[in-house]
Structure 1
Amino acid sequence: MNKSAIRAFGMAIFLIGALLALASRFDVNIGLPTKEFSNHQQVEELQNKLNKANQENASLKEQLKQVNTAEKTSTTDSSEQAVEQTDTEVTSMSLQIYSGITPYSVAQKLEDGGIITNSVEMELLLANPKYARSLQIGSYEVHSAMTLEEIANLITGKKQ
């Protein structure tokens, strides 16, 4: 190769590098995969998990109805009152949010603490653009009487 061809090749490589740096600096999409793309895939996967969980939940509720109708003849008033009392009990816990915690981890902690029943729903809510990347570091007192939205607003510092 002669010097001018090597020089031209070097200039082309330099220009390509400069264009990629500028595109990265100003968030110009030049066809390269972005984090938003991977987040979109994760949201779709989580949505599929939620749909499956909801289907399982519906089938389990149906089974529970069948069991309850079969046992209804053998239950007494006192056992029904006991069931009502356990439904109204409020569970509370202190939720620790630290730097780098993922929505999955937060949702798992809440489910393990008995605050929520379905961690996938909470994970999807926290992956929503309204709350994404907004988790605030700190310790929060949460209880099972709170809605998912209330918990999300509390731990992200959003006003309702």
Structure 2
Amino acid sequence: MNRTIRNIGIGLFLAGAAFQIEEFVETEDITSTSTITDESYNQAQQELIDVKKQLAELQLDLNNAQQAQTNTSEETVPTETTAEHSQSEASMTLSIQLGMTSSEISAKLEDANIILNKVDMNNYLSDQGLAGRIQVGNYELNSSMSLKQIAETITR
């Protein structure tokens, strides 16, 4: 009788071990099929770059539209108000030193009220590949310039 119970116990133990091994193998198969290939990773990175470029272009379009709207509203305002408004246009001489980053330059431009948002300028320079092409020097900039115009000026 003891031998029969022992054999049944061993059989149950082996059956349980077999189920555990099977479950372990199935779990491993599922995780191994969900790996990311280099090709899909590179494709996702390219799509991200394309989206960033589109975003930069849309930001430029928005800035140009805002400036056009500002210019249109300036034309409809009486000349006395227009003269007052032109005096409030911000301008500055931006001095770019060796080692300055695009984020530092963008912050200076925002502080001087040349641009509305330093993050937009920094993203534009990065997305267009211009952040590494910024030239040391002094540049005359004003708030009527678009992000693109500012970028072209400081990367010549």
TM-score bracket, normalised by the shorter chain, equals: 0.3 to 0.5
- Taking structure 2 as the reference length, what is the TM-score of the superposition? 0.47
- Taking structure 1 as the reference length, what is the TM-score of the superposition? 0.46
Between structure 1 and structure 2, the one with the greater Rg is 2
